[in-house]
Structure 1
């Protein structure tokens, strides 16, 4: 039986090699026939300048956006000149669990891309073992009624299989996986930017609450002095019990409001701990009243927003992946070419398996190729193509919506900062006026010109005005962070501090 196989193989060897060569040439020719649509980034309406940037911002020339979301943003939070914030940002980037999860998703997408690229190469396997078979007489070029015995064949062979990239099926799959990987990296940068902004926002909110705590501590001390003074005057018969009761009520009310601020501060401290990857029990923040933020961020050109925003880059990469999958769905309508072959040894006995005369080779059907042409599937491929096109249309709409959202967020932040400047100036005037009214009311009360209720009203007005001024200062700091986040973590060519590590290095460390 071994000799018979060898004879057949030798007689057809030349024909098989020519067929294989012809199949390979055909595959190379058909590889160029990709049916994937040419990808073009959809056009979006980009204004010449931001509405809230004011006349001082030169509109400049509009230019098509070239995504640069992968460029290092630098440590943008260093513009606040706060060493504590710098330390918190470093801790968050090293330990935040959401960022670690995003990094793991990036590694998953890169592995999926590597798996897709593997289809460019042949698959080689090795096998060893016996098979029980009964060959037909026709397969051995024997008369029809020849009695063929059932035999056990031992085989030790290497198998090679390769799918020719007909009509770009493999290429489209690789393109889709590559776009998916790039989208995952953009989403990682989006999570990273959101984390950095959330840490800064929580930090400034915490410090603003510390300012309120400080205000309440001073106010409570003044209220206690007022109660002592009123008690003394009541004991001397200078004032009625009503004044004493009002003073005690105001002290108790102020203490209750101070506890409310403590509750807010505890919640803010816990939130910051989670961002740092710590349990609330393992993190405490010393009281540190807020210093007004004076940093100013140039908005730059609107077209640059499309380059730096990682969420926009992620939406654009989703479109590219959907476009590639349209080509993948189209390729299912066309023939598929698989090239297979095997070479090794086979023998009826294990002892003769590795003899030179036991060598054999096998080529797939149709002289080394298996060309399959789909004919009917009940409309499945047509439905899959329609689904892929609809997915692309959805991603286009999502991309344009994300761009509009980005413009709105920048305009909102610019408007907040512009109006907060005016509001803070007006509130500072209100604080000064309230403090003057408090001084006058206390003087007039000592002289017996007004009752104690007027004094309480003026003191309450001072505390309210000071709290509002503190809250506005906190809102200004948070709005500055929000603007930086809306701009994609950077602006123009301004470099804020040392450049951070590239996203590839950061992902590798997660």
Structure 2
């Protein structure tokens, strides 16, 4: 008889365990599929040679864990290389993004801890007085107060019914992956900002040099006009005009120097330095000749970290739909306790003082939702709405990425023609200024014609300088729009994204 009862007990326990396992495997989380997004087969503004060599369309698979490499080395500029490494070591925005990754990974570990029981230990006395009614005594019975000493361990565990815990873990994992993609987005933005500020600063140096030479030319012109005025060949009007042109050139030079100072301060902040501790040597900009192939539009979805972040946000929202659905179903919490209990501290750890709470359903709480005024339904609708929002934002981010690439491709294509035409204008204006100066010295034209010619030279040179800076910045913007890389560049390490300068490594775990 006792053997039959034991076998029946084991059978019930095995059946209960099997039932709980099946319920735990029955997840309510919708099957996630990466949202589709309209993707063209080639970029409209890509050069014909790039479009021909791009290959055929392929399905995009996010590669947010891939290193983008030191893409700025395409400019072959050791000074830029040094600035990029300084920014990676000390930029505070990058350190903050790395800290957010650490926080998100800690949240994943916190969510995973729900898969395991919680065990606590305690020790101490309790003072209690039981009521006569609880002891089945008359109302006026005297029930003395008593002190109980306890030393016990308690364990609690939530059974993962209907994938409640698993969905929460999946959502936390997707959040962590989104945080890592956002870190790479901050990293790429920092690298691009450093390069842009660097080229803009050098373009200001070009303008400063241009105004320096213009001021020197104006000073020579003033000496010429002053001599001719002293000899009575011209009126004071020409002398006043020459002085005005010199003063204007000097004022414009100061204005450019002010802009340069502001740009230098911005670059210092990107490098994690106080502006007072950073000084950039004057280095006029030379034309940037680097050319970046755009590649396939589908590859853009793999390389852009902001697109990867948007896609991971949708995955997290999908997991939270399952978490919201699980609120409709029972929740099973299991608790147990065991240890020692005695009326005096001296008797606490005797073998006879042991106590426990244990049994097939002892300490369990199966909570079954019945009515909540529509709270669970609202939770599911909110989770579904959040998922739809994140999917729409993902698709919008994809469209925005395509637009940024097309904008910069068209900028670079048209800038080549514009720079060529502007260089021709510079040469023509310089020739015109030379002829006007010669004719003025011979008394054939008025000094106002010389002023107009020299102003035109300065204007065309400034426009040419600005276009050179715009071309350099547009090249950086194209690389940034492409996700920080191009072609078949391979990652140095596809499993880690690290920073120097004491910041903890941000690595895929």
Alpha carbons of structure 1 residues 63 and 508: separation in structure 2 relative to 1, 3 Å: same
Q: Distance in 1 between matches of 2:122 and 2:14?
A: 25
Partner of 1:316: 311
Partner of 1:37: 30
Partner of 1:355: 350
Once the two structures are superposed, the pairs formed by residues 280-299 of structure 1 within 5 Å of their partners are 280-299=275-294
Alpha carbons of structure 1 residues 191 and 318: separation in structure 2 relative to 1, 3 Å: same
Paired residues in the alignment total 497
**8 Å CA contact 1:130, 1:154 repeated in 2:** yes
Q: Distance in 2 between matches of 1:407 and 1:312?
A: 11
Structure 1 residue 508 corresponds to structure 2 residue 490: no
Moved more, 131-140 or 481-490: 131-140
Shift of residue 346, structure 1, vs aligned partner: 1.2
Partner of 2:158: 163
SS of residue matched to 1:52: coil
Shift of residue 368, structure 1, vs aligned partner: 4.8
Partner of 1:212: 207
When normalised by structure 2's length, the TM-score is: 0.92
Once the two structures are superposed, the pairs formed by residues 255-274 of structure 1 within 5 Å of their partners are 255-274=250-269
Unaligned runs of at least 5 residues, structure 2: none
What RMSD, in angstroms, separates the aligned Cα atoms of the two structures?
Answer: 2.7
> Deviations 1:37-89 (Å, cap 9, x if unpaired)?
11111111100000011322135322221111211111100110111111111
Partner of 2:373: 378
**8 Å CA contact 2:66, 2:495 repeated in 1:** no
78, 83, 87: which one pairs with 1:88?
83
When normalised by structure 1's length, the TM-score is: 0.92
226, 240, 244: which one pairs with 1:245?
240
Q: Distance in 2 between matches of 1:479 and 1:193?
A: 15
Q: Distance in 2 between matches of 1:402 and 1:274?
A: 28
**8 Å CA contact 2:336, 2:362 repeated in 1:** no
Shift of residue 118, structure 1, vs aligned partner: 0.5
Moved more, 354-363 or 93-102: 354-363
**8 Å CA contact 2:321, 2:384 repeated in 1:** yes
Once the two structures are superposed, the pairs formed by residues 48-59 of structure 1 within 5 Å of their partners are 48-56=41-49, 57-58=51-52, 59=54
Structure 1 residue 231 corresponds to structure 2 residue 226: yes
> Deviations 1:273-295 (Å, cap 9, x if unpaired)?
11111111111111100011000
Alpha carbons of structure 1 residues 133 and 25: separation in structure 2 relative to 1, 3 Å: farther
**8 Å CA contact 1:129, 1:155 repeated in 2:** yes
Structure 1 residue 129 corresponds to structure 2 residue 124: yes
Structure 1 residue 486 corresponds to structure 2 residue 485: no
Alpha carbons of structure 1 residues 352 and 500: separation in structure 2 relative to 1, 3 Å: closer
SS of residue matched to 1:423: helix
Shift of residue 382, structure 1, vs aligned partner: 1.2
Q: Distance in 2 between matches of 1:363 and 1:258?
A: 87
Q: Distance in 1 between matches of 2:212 and 2:390?
A: 54
Q: Distance in 2 between matches of 1:221 and 1:199?
A: 33
Q: Distance in 1 between matches of 2:360 and 2:144?
A: 25
Partner of 2:469: 474
Shift of residue 381, structure 1, vs aligned partner: 1.3
Shift of residue 242, structure 1, vs aligned partner: 1.3
**8 Å CA contact 1:127, 1:158 repeated in 2:** yes
SS of residue matched to 2:339: strand
Structure 1 residue 460 corresponds to structure 2 residue 455: yes
SS of residue matched to 1:71: coil
Shift of residue 367, structure 1, vs aligned partner: 3.7
Shift of residue 374, structure 1, vs aligned partner: 0.8
Unaligned runs of at least 5 residues, structure 1: 1-11
Q: Distance in 1 between matches of 2:131 and 2:162?
A: 38
Alpha carbons of structure 1 residues 107 and 364: separation in structure 2 relative to 1, 3 Å: farther
SS of residue matched to 2:120: strand
**8 Å CA contact 2:65, 2:494 repeated in 1:** no
Q: Distance in 2 between matches of 1:174 and 1:23?
A: 25
Structure 1 residue 193 corresponds to structure 2 residue 193: no
Alpha carbons of structure 1 residues 341 and 26: separation in structure 2 relative to 1, 3 Å: farther
Partner of 2:336: 341
Shift of residue 133, structure 1, vs aligned partner: 4.4
SS of residue matched to 2:45: helix
SS of residue matched to 2:373: coil
SS of residue matched to 1:371: strand
Alpha carbons of structure 1 residues 158 and 505: separation in structure 2 relative to 1, 3 Å: farther
**8 Å CA contact 2:329, 2:369 repeated in 1:** yes
**8 Å CA contact 1:75, 1:499 repeated in 2:** no
Moved more, 122-131 or 293-302: 122-131
Partner of 2:20: 27
SS of residue matched to 1:258: helix
Shift of residue 154, structure 1, vs aligned partner: 1.7
